[in-house]
A and B are shown apart, each in its own frame.
Chain A
Amino acid sequence: MPAPFQIADFWSLAPEGLLTVWGLLVLVLDFGLLRRLEGPLRRNILGTFCLVGGLLTIALLLFTADFAERPTPLDEIVARDSITWWFNGLTALLLTLVVVLSMSNPFTEHWGEYYALLLWAAVGMMVLIAAQELVLLFLALEMMTICLYLLTAFVKKRRRSAEGGLKYFVYGSVSSALFLFGLSLIYGLTGTTRIEAMRSVLMEVAPTSGLSGNLAGAIAVLLMLVGFGFKVAAVPFHQWAPDAYEGAPSPITAFISTGSKVASFIALLRLMVHGLAPWAHREGSLVGPGWVGLTALLAAASMTYGNFAALAQTNLKRLLAYSSIAHAGYLLVGVLAASVSVDQGYKSAGAVLFYLMIYAASNLGAFALATWLARDRGDEDVEGLDGLGYRSPLLAVCVVLLLLSLVGVPPLAGFFGKLSMFMESLNTGKTGRLTLLWLVALALANSVLSAFYYTRILKAMFLRPPPARPLGPPNVAIGLPIVACTLVLVVLSLRPSLLVEPMTRAAGPLIGMPAAEGLDDLETTLSRAP
Chain B
Amino acid sequence: MEKFTVLKGLAAPMDRANVDTDMIIPKQFLKSIRRSGFGLNLFDELRYLDHGEPDQDCTSRPKNPDFVLNQPRYAGASVLLARQNFGCGSSREHAPWALLDYGFRCVIAPSFADIFFNNCFKNGILPIVLDEVVVDQLFREVAAQEGYTLTVNLPDQEIVTPAGQVIPFEVDSFRKHCLIHGLDDIGLTLEDADAIRAFEAKWQQQAPWLFVNP
Q: Do A and B come from one complex?
A: no
Chain B residues near A (Cβ < 8 Å):
none
